[in-house]
Amino acid sequence: MAKVVKHVAVLFAGVMLGGSTAAFAGGPSDDKLVIDDEIEIITRTAAPEGHPLDEVISGWHYRTEETRALEADSFQNPGMLYVERGEEIWNTVDGAAGKSCASCHGDDGEFLKGLGANYPKWDEANNRPINIELQINACREANMEAKPYKFDAADQKALTTYIKHQSLGMPVEVDLTQGEMKSWWDKGEELYYTRTGQLNLSCATCHEDYNGNYIRADHLSQGNVNGFPTYRLKQSSMVSLHNRFRGCIRDTRAEFPAAFSDDLMALEVYVTWRGSGLSVETPAVRQ
């Protein structure tokens, strides 16, 4: 059965594209991503130990030439508008304590260099993993005495984009030895392979078994998350990781978990690990 599905997908891709661009029609492109002819991005690398695939490939390779070009030029990348907005937020005082992010962490980006490449991390105080969005909210409440951002608030997305962008080009590495990260990784792995929804799909169905093939006109990637938040052409805006998780689960026609819930935090730990060694691409440009 699986084989038949694969053939149908490939045939469909052939019809859609008229077989005009070989690199596009079959599997990932073999292009190289160098942003502004300066910053080399690791978009293909050997998979970490225990990974089911041999090679880890960035979603950038699965996009068309035009979409790939948008990410290779930091001026043309519309996601950079949100990086600039995020920098403004970083330097703007908010909350009763009269502080900005920069009041404690400085405004030169030094503090942030590499930071976004190593999240999610173990949060001892709350006994669960923490990602950038939750870290921002924790800081806002405890140190700035400001209200935490609601999920997907424009400022939350812009600030997260700015923070992740400060690690552009640096390889993603999650430390699974911290606290109970490994058991969250286990839980994330279980979720990744669990079929859900009326369509009975797991993450692995599309992103492991059929990556490189087409689901209707969509070229399926490995589903790596090294470019989030991502500028998505469909929304013409930044899309956060948990928004994308929820969108994917919704598309299987299942009930989707809340953002930052235990399920989605476990999935973030596991899926981030799956992309180990790829460069942070934030803000990546996707379809």
Which stretches of the chain bind another protein, using CB under 8 A?
A: 16-17, 20, 63-67, 69-70, 75-76, 78, 80-82, 84-85, 88, 154, 158, 199, 214-218, 220, 233-237, 247-248, 250-252, 287
In angstroms, rounded to a whole number, what is the distance separating the alpha carbons of residues 222 and 87?
Answer: 31
Give the DSSP H or E segment for 35. Answer: strand 34-35
118 vs 237, beta carbon nearer another protein: 237
- Cβ 277 to another protein, closest distance in Å? 26
- Residue 97 or 233: the one with the smaller Cβ distance to another protein is 233
Peptide bond into 229 cis (omega under 30): yes
Q: Which residues contact 71 (CB under 8 A, 6 or more apart)?
A: 33, 35, 60, 77, 281, 284, 285
The rounded distance, in Å, linking the Cα atoms of 6 and 22 is 17
The reply to whether 139 belongs to the active site is: no
In angstroms, rounded to a whole number, what is the distance separating the alpha carbons of residues 246 and 198?
A: 15
Q: Which of 101, 203, 206, 248 is catalytic?
A: 248
Listed in sequence order, the residues at least 6 apart from 238 whose beta carbon sits closer than 8 Å to its beta carbon are 79, 82, 157, 158, 161, 229, 230, 231, 232, 283
Of 26 and 114, nearer to another protein (C-beta) is 26
Q: What is the 3-state secondary structure (H, E, C) of 177-195?
A: CCCCHHHHHHHHHHHHCCC
Nearer to another protein, 82 or 184 (CB): 82
CB 113 → another protein: shortest distance, Å?
23
The minimum distance between CB 218 and another protein, in angstroms, equals: 3
Are 226 and 216 in contact by the 8 Å Cβ rule? The answer is no
SS3 state at 87: helix
Minimum distance from residue 93 beta carbon to another protein (Å): 15
Specify the residue for token string 């087409």: 214
Nearest to 240 by CA among 228, 248, 251, 257: 228
Q: Is the CB of 133 or the CB of 276 nearer to another protein?
A: 133
Q: How far is the CB of 279 from another protein (least distance, A)?
A: 22
Task: Fill in the DSSP letter of residue 40.
Answer: E
Q: Which is nearer to another protein, 79 or 257 (CB)?
A: 79
- The 8-class DSSP code of residue 251 comes to H
Least distance CB 241 / another protein (angstroms): 14
* Positions marked catalytic: 248
